[in-house]
Structure formats: C-alpha cells, structure tokens
Structure 1
Amino acid sequence: MNGADLLCETLLANGIDTCFANPGTSEMHFVAALDRQPRIRCILGLFEGVVTGAADGYARMAEKPAATLLHTGPGLANALANMHNARRARTPMVNVVGDHASYHLKFDAPLTSDIDGLAAPMSDWVGRATDAETMGETTEAAIRAAMTGQGQVCTLILPADAAWSETSAAMPQAIALPQAKAPDAALVAKAAKMLGNGQQTVIFVSGRALRANALEVLQRIATKTGARFMAQGSNGRVERGAGRVAIERVPYPVDQAVAALAGTGQAILIGAKAPVGFFAYPGKPGSMLPEGCEILDMVEKETDLLAALQALAEVVGAGDDIPLTLNELKRPEAPAPGALTPEAVMASVVRHMPDQAIICDESVTSGRNFFPLSHSAPAHDFLQLTGGAIGVGIPMATGAAVACPERKVIGLQADGSGMYTLQALWTQAREQLDVVTVIFANRKYQILLGELKNVGANAPGENASRMLDLDKPELKWVELARGMGVDAVSVDTAEAFEAAFADAMTRKGPFLIEALI
C-alpha cells in the first residue's frame, strides 16, 4: 500500500465515496489508487471550477463532503471561485491538490507555485502531507476539519512522492467527528430578554436553521414573542414549499432591504450574519439595519443551530402547543400566451415542478421573483449562489443530482454566468444526471447594467455596452448544449416555454431550455 492508497482508504473509512476530479501528471499515483477503489465514484469535470462547484452542490444535499482532485497551483487557482462560494455556504469539502515531489520543488519547474498561499484565503483548513507514513493522519485531520461546525472547506496538498511511497501504516478506521457545541445558556437568556422588552426585533437565520424542523421552532418563537424572522440574503440550502414554514430573505437591493428593516430596534443572529449591502454605493448605507440597532449573535461558530432554537423556544415558552402556519400547495395558472418574460418562466416552473425537486438558482436578476412565488410550490430544497462568485449554478446542479439521483434537479441559470462553467453540461451528459437547466437568455449582464445605474454612472455608452452586452455574436445555447451531449430546445413565447418545461418534467436525464426573454 502506498500513500495514495492510504489516502483513499481513509476517505472511505469516513464515508467519503465521491471524488470530483480534474487530474494532471502530479496526481497519477492518486488516480491509480482511485482506480483500485471501485467503492469510490470518480466524476470528471472539464474545468476545475466545475469540480469544486459540483462538490459544493453535492455536499449541500448529501450533508457530507466529497473529495476533489486538482492539479497543482494553477488547477487550484481555477477552482478558487467556487471554493469561495462553498465557504460562504459552509459546505464541507476535502480538496486534494497535487504538488511536485518534495525534492523536485527546489528546481522551480514551470508548475511550481505557492499552493499553501493560494489555498489559504478560500479554505478554512490547509494541510500538507509530508510523507506516506503520516498520510492517514493528515487526511483524518482534513476530514475532521471539514465536518467541524456547519461545514468547512479544507485543502490537503499531496506531494507526488508522498503519494507513490510505500507505507506500513495500519488500515484506517472511522474517526470520531467533532460534535456541535451546545448553545450558550447566557446568550440564550439574553436573546429571550430582548424578545420580551417590547422593542421591534428581527431574528436572522441561515445554515441548518433553515431546515424544515428548525423553521417550525422559529415560527413558534416568533408567534409567542411578536418578533419577525428572516433568512439572510444568500443561503446554502433552504427547505421550503408546501407543508413547510414560509420565510423571506433580506432583499438584495439596498433600498428594498433598508425599507424592509426600517424600525428594527434589535437583531438576533442565529447562524446568520447581520445584513449588509452586497457592495458599497455612493450615498447609501453599508448596514441594512437602522442606526443604533442592537445586534446579538446568539451562537458561536460551532453551535448546534437547531438546539439553539429549541433552547430559546423553551426559555420564552414557545412550546409545541402553539399552532403552526404552513404553506398550502397552490400552483399558479398557466401564463398568458405571448412574449416570454421572466415572470412567465417562473409561473411555469412552479406550475410543473414535482414534489421534492431541488432548485439550484443562479438566475441573478431574472429569477428574483421565484422565491416569493414558490412559497406554495411543492416541497423542495432551494440552493443558491452564496458568495457572489458567478459560475456555480450548472456545477452545483450537477453535484446535487449526484447526491440525490432519485430527485429532479432544476437549474435556474442566467446566460452570462452560465458561460463561466458550461462544461458541467458535459459531466451531466456523461453521468446521465436528471437535471433540467433553464437558461434565462437576455443576452446581457443585466445585473451589471443595474449596478452601473446604482453607482451613479450615466447610461451605458458604446464602450460600456460592449462590456455588458452578450451579442454580436449571440450565444446559441441549444448548439452549446448539444455540443456537450445534452438535448436542448429554444423558446421565445410563454406558451412554448409552458409546453417545453412540462415535457421536461417527464424526461429522465439532462435537458436544457433556452428561454429567450
């Protein structure tokens, strides 16, 4: 057994049986070791951003990490944007990044780089395997870190000689994973006191506080105390739809967020961050909360969020006897015939999506109406872009489909950001994943046109338009998808989209609809 074999055995002993990969020469011994492990499913991504984006989507749904395999520093650099998104989503992830043999680094070969330095800003933990004998211990440390708290992005650097060297280490066993911390009784008591002092209070939640059972506890707290509750603007996963508690998010536009939170005197954070503007804008506030609002972070980083909510409910007397208000299933009518609009697309999606679908949303401006429209849709999981680094949507849907092959995955995808990682369509075709991708083809970076206005700039002239429009030539998504092995159709009317999406829900395997809006 060599170091690479020990790495594989340690992953398997701890339940990590999926590896999204884009390997190179330095990782060939790890590739050979994976080839000896039929229990590990290896999935090729044609770009490293696809690899880490898919690992993100996988772990959000599987609630355990996947491994990734990346090639030296430049390969890691290609993967960093979606590692950033995963870190913001608190996704557990174990990235294995190959490096030159330790004795070869002194020669400064072309692919030599500071992998540790590249990994650090987008990783919660970075470690380097020093030799084959300690490979198991180093891998265990990475897994333990990945499963700490809500989840962490971890990067394990694998020198080639540590992979190919033989080891006499014993076969690994499952490690004891970190246990979530119990809520701090003093912080819970302080939150309860705030909820009882008569001031207007908003409880902000994220992470596992957005699972269905946690939201029921949260609603009972709000009913008992008169507080409001909201999700932060970007969240890794929300369990929502019919039979579940409705929750709104902090709006993205600054003016809307400020208006929604006007009059708030107190904010209690449970797994969430205090709401701030995504960017700074001239003449607008950075905090979305009123000046002087008292903020209490009720939980530490590694606290069990459900337990924290239950503890708060007990202190304020919000018991199970308080009735819940749950969403009732209600599908919209078919949209009126005519030109296709984002609103018509969303109506058809909610009208035909099946129970227990997984929605992966990177529709940016075009899809903002989906969230309020789908409160009464069939029960579903909602995954979204969390870190603002566009290009996660199609890979995220790919990973979610790997994690949950029995569930329909629906990707709501802006055309501009979709081009960052459209190679994920090829992976969907190769793995025959049950994903329907809806491309909002407005043929422009619509969000940036809005941001140009928000920062006080003039209407776009020729140079600005050439940087923000996606025309001349127009993107042809049907041809792009078919070139990746995914069947596709293009529609430009509400009735055509209604028919195409209804048909797509009856299909198995990957399919793409270009919605010309």
Structure 2
Amino acid sequence: MNGADRLCDELLANDIDVCFANPGTSEMHFVAALDRKPRMRCVLGLFEGVVTAAADGYARMADKPAATLLHLGPGLANGLANLHNARRASTPMINVVGEHATYHIRHDAPLTSDIESLARPMSQWVHRIEKAEDVGRDTAAAYEAAMSLPGVATLILPADAAWGEIPDTPLARTALPLPVPIEAGTMRKAVEAIRSRRRTALLLSGKALRADALEMAARIADAAGVRLIAQMSNGRIQRGVGRVPIGTVPYPVDMALEALKDIECVVMIGAQVPVAFFAYPGKPGRLIPDHCEVVELATRASNLKEVLSWLAFELGVKPDAPVTVSQPSTEWEALPDGDLTEDAIAIAVAQMLPEGAIVCNESLTSARRFFGLSHRSAPHDFLSLTGGAIGIGIPLAVGAAVACPDRKVVGLQADGSGMYTVQALWTQARENLDIVTIVFANRKYAILQGEMRAVGATEFGRNAQRMLNIDDPALDWVSMAKGMGVEAARATTVREFTELLKGAMARRGPFLIEAVI
C-alpha cells in the first residue's frame, strides 16, 4: 500500500469512480494505482481543458464529483479556463495535480512552478499533501470541500507522497457537514418582502432549477403574485413538457435592463445580483434598478429545495396546490425551405429532442432561439456556459454522457469556441458516447462582432475582420471529426439538416453535423 493506492481507495470509498485524466511522469505512481482499481473508470482527454470540462459536465448530471488527473502546474494551467466555468457553476470536482517529489523542488527543474498560485483563482479549496501518511486524511478533506461548498477542490500530490509506503488501514465514507442553515430572521425578511405588495422577483439558480424545486417556486410565485426568473447563466435547468417554464435574465444589457426595470425587490435563492457580463460606455453594470432591495435568502451551499419548502410554508402556500407546467405543442412553427438558418436549426432540434435528452449549449448567438422554444420540447436537462470562458461545449457533453450513458446528449456548438477543445471528439469516439454534436458553422466569432457594435464600433476594417472571421481558410468540421473517429456529415439546406438530425437521433454513438449557415 502506497500513497497513490490510498488516494484511489479514499475516492472510491466516497463513490468517486470516474477519473478524467491527462497524466505525466510525476503521476505515474497514481496511474499505476488506478490500474489496480478496476472499479475506477479512467477517461483520457487529449488536452487538459477537455479533462476539466468533462469533469464539470459529469458532476452537473451525476450530482457527485469526478476526479481529474493533471500534470504539474502547466497541465493544471491548460485546464484553468474550464475550471473557471466549473467554479462559476458551483460544480463539485476534485483535481489531483501531480507535483515533483518534495526533495526535488529545490532544484528548480524545468516543470517546477507555483501550483498553489495557479490553482487558487479557479478553485474554492486548495491543499498540498506533505507526506504519504497524510494522503487519506487530505483526500477526505478534498471530498468534503467539493461537496459542501460545493465547488472545485484542488489537491496537490508530490511524487514521493504517491510512492511512499503506508499501512493498509480500514476506510470509511467521509461524513459531510449539514447544508448551510437559513436563519429565521433571514426567512422573515424574505417573507416580508414578498408580502409587501411591491413588484418582487424570485431569482433562482443552482438546484432551485430542478423540476421539483421549480414546482415549489412556481406555487409561491402564483400564490404571492411575484415573478420567477432564472439567473443569466446556470449549470443545469430541467425543462420541457410537464415542467415549470422559466426564463433567464437576458444576456444583452439593453434587453436585461428592460426586462428588470420594474423590479422593486429581488429575493435570491442560490443566485447572485444580476450584472452585465462586461462594462459598456454609458450603461450600468448592475442590471436591477438602484432602488431595488436585494434579499439573499440562500446560497448554493444550502439545501435549496428545503429553503423553498420552508418559504412556501411561511407564506401559507399549499404543497399540493396546482402549478402551471409546459404543455405539448399541438403545432410547431413551420420549418422554412431552402438554405439552412439558425432559426431552422433551433426549431428542428426543439421538435426532435428525445425524452430525457441532455442539451449542452455553447452557441450563444446562433442557438439563441432554442431556449425559448425548448419549454415545449420533451423533458430534458439544459446545461450552459456559466463562466463565459469558451471551449467548454464538446467536452461538457463528454462528461454528461459518461454520467448518463442511457440518455441522448445533444451539443449545440459554435464553430469558433469548438476549436478550443476539438480534441474532445476523440474522447467521444474512444468511449463510444451517445452524443450528437451540431456545429453552427457561421465561420465567424459572431458574439464578438456583436460586442464590437455594442461598444460603438460599427465599421469593421481589414484588421477587425481578420480577427473576427474564421473563413479563410474555412474550417472543415466533417474532416476533423472523421479524423478523430466520429462519423460526420455536412448540411447546407433545411432538408439536409432535418434528415441528418433524424438519423442521428435514432442511432447510438457519436455523430457530428456541420450545419453551414
């Protein structure tokens, strides 16, 4: 028994049985230990950004952490962008980052770096293991932090702590602290705000956006006459027929200001005060009116379903009161003929989405209509970009598919951001994951063109065009996908796209559609 064995056993004792990995030399003892644990599923990513995003997608759907295995500081640094997204989604995750042996660090070898400084901005918890005897205790602490924050826990494993021999002692599952309680005074303040007859909104995020919690929130909203809104970016929303439809705070600043202009009080349940993604000349950063009162009832560290249940009780809302849910559509918007368009893709996907599907959306501009249509789709889970760091979509779908192998995963993917972690297609093929990836091939950074206009730069010269367009040369997604083992085809018309989508939904395994728009 060595430290690496103990780390694996501690993970398994806490039901962490998936490790997304891109290891290096310093982690070879941990790799050997993983090889001795057949219960642990190891999934290789060809880039660390794939590894961290896949762990994010897995935890969003499994409601438990996966482990990642990353090589020293540079390997961690390669995965930081998607760790930022995971942190913003409050995703439970345990990063195991290899480190030089403790006595080797003084030599300043080429891969030596300050791992703590790299990890801290994108992690809610960071710890360095000192010796092999500490591995079990420190791994249990990482699990506790990941689950109770909830969030990203980064554990640094020196090589000599991994290979050091230790006694084989009994293991037990780590006891977790109770969720952060809500004080009675805070609850009274929320109840008073809702009863004040002011224009009030319940702003939801985290597990308050699960189907059962949404039903309780909707009963409160109906009984008290308040609005129900989801935060702008959320890790997971349960949507579709039979579920409570809920809109989000719009991304464009002007639209968000218009949507929230009449709000006089906002009660936040797992959410944060709505703010713009960026600053714009002459526009406010905070999206609610200055006079709007903010009541933070609960953070994501609380049991949000219980918080909503308590709030309903205090307001006298019956737990079995009828609630309005989305109904099946008797007549979908007609698909146009001719060349393929963004709207046609959104309509077709919303219509054909199978029950129980998981939608991973990283096409903020091209797929903008899908969310509004999807409340009439079959029941599904909607996973989106939370932290704004692009390159999450394709590997996010990998993690979701590993967590839920019996459910179809549909990726709505912008072509520009897809290139950040295109290597995830190889993992889709290797693991034979049931994922349909739809690439919106507009061959430009459309969202950045919109941002240029938002700051007043409406004329695009040669330099701007060459930085915002990706059409010279045009990306060949079909060739790239096939080169990584994923079957793929291109659609340029509505008819071609609907036929490809119908076939992809009916089969199992990875398939990519390059939708040229």
TM-score (norm 1): 0.99
Shift of 1:259: 0.5
Contact 1:334 1:348 in 2 (8 A): no
Q: Which amino acid aligns with 2:346?
A: M
**Identical-residue share of aligned pairs (%):** 59
Q: 2-side partners of 1:302 and 1:326: how far apart? A: 28
Q: Which amino acid aligns with 1:125?
A: W
Q: Which amino acid aligns with 1:143?
A: Y
Aligned to 1:439: 439
Shift of 1:301: 5.0
Q: 2-side partners of 1:168 and 1:477: how far apart? A: 52
Q: 2-side partners of 1:272 and 1:402: how far apart? A: 28
Aligned to 1:287: 286
Cα offsets for 1:467-514 (capped at 9, x unmatched): 000011000000000011000000011111111101100111000000
Matches within 5 A, 1:504-515: 504-515=504-515
Q: 2-side partners of 1:378 and 1:61: how far apart? A: 18
Contact 1:425 1:481 in 2 (8 A): yes
Q: 2-side partners of 1:374 and 1:334: how far apart? A: 15
Shift of 1:35: 0.5
Contact 1:147 1:178 in 2 (8 A): no
Contact 2:390 2:417 in 1 (8 A): yes
Aligned to 1:167: 166
Structure 2: runs of 5+ lacking an equivalent: none
Q: What is the DSSP-based 3-state SS (H/G/I as helix, E as strand, rest coil) of the residue aligned with 1:298?
A: strand
Q: 2-side partners of 1:482 and 1:70: how far apart? A: 27
Q: 2-side partners of 1:314 and 1:110: how far apart? A: 61
Contact 2:90 2:300 in 1 (8 A): no
Matches within 5 A, 1:451-470: 451-470=451-470
Cα offsets for 1:286-315 (capped at 9, x unmatched): 111112111111114522111111111111
Q: Which amino acid aligns with 2:109?
A: A
Shift of 1:249: 0.2
Q: What is the DSSP-based 3-state SS (H/G/I as helix, E as strand, rest coil) of the residue aligned with 1:420?
A: helix
Structure 1 residue 382 corresponds to structure 2 residue 382:
yes
Matches within 5 A, 1:134-213: 134-149=134-149, 151-213=150-212
TM-score (norm 2): 0.99
Shift of 1:458: 3.5
Matches within 5 A, 1:388-467: 388-467=388-467
Q: Which amino acid aligns with 1:32?
A: A
Cα offsets for 1:300-354 (capped at 9, x unmatched): 4522111111111111111134311110122725512111111100111111110
Q: What is the DSSP-based 3-state SS (H/G/I as helix, E as strand, rest coil) of the residue aligned with 1:401?
A: helix
Structure 1 residue 312 corresponds to structure 2 residue 311:
yes
Contact 2:312 2:319 in 1 (8 A): no
Contact 2:199 2:263 in 1 (8 A): yes
Q: Which moved more, 1:92-101 or 1:309-318?
A: 309-318
Q: Which amino acid aligns with 2:244?
A: V
Q: Which amino acid aligns with 2:87?
A: R
Structure 1 residue 131 corresponds to structure 2 residue 131:
yes
Q: 2-side partners of 1:144 and 1:291: how far apart? A: 38
CA pair 346-458 structure 1, distance change in 2 beyond 3 A:
closer
Shift of 1:434: 0.1
Q: 1-side partners of 2:209 and 2:182: how far apart? A: 17
Aligned to 1:274: 273
Q: 1-side partners of 2:475 and 2:160: how far apart? A: 45
Structure 1 residue 322 corresponds to structure 2 residue 299:
no
Structure 1 residue 30 corresponds to structure 2 residue 30:
yes
Cα offsets for 1:46-78 (capped at 9, x unmatched): 000000000000000000000000000000000
Q: Which moved more, 1:434-443 or 1:172-181?
A: 172-181
Contact 1:183 1:311 in 2 (8 A): no
Q: What is the DSSP-based 3-state SS (H/G/I as helix, E as strand, rest coil) of the residue aligned with 1:381?
A: strand
Q: 1-side partners of 2:75 and 2:502: how far apart? A: 39
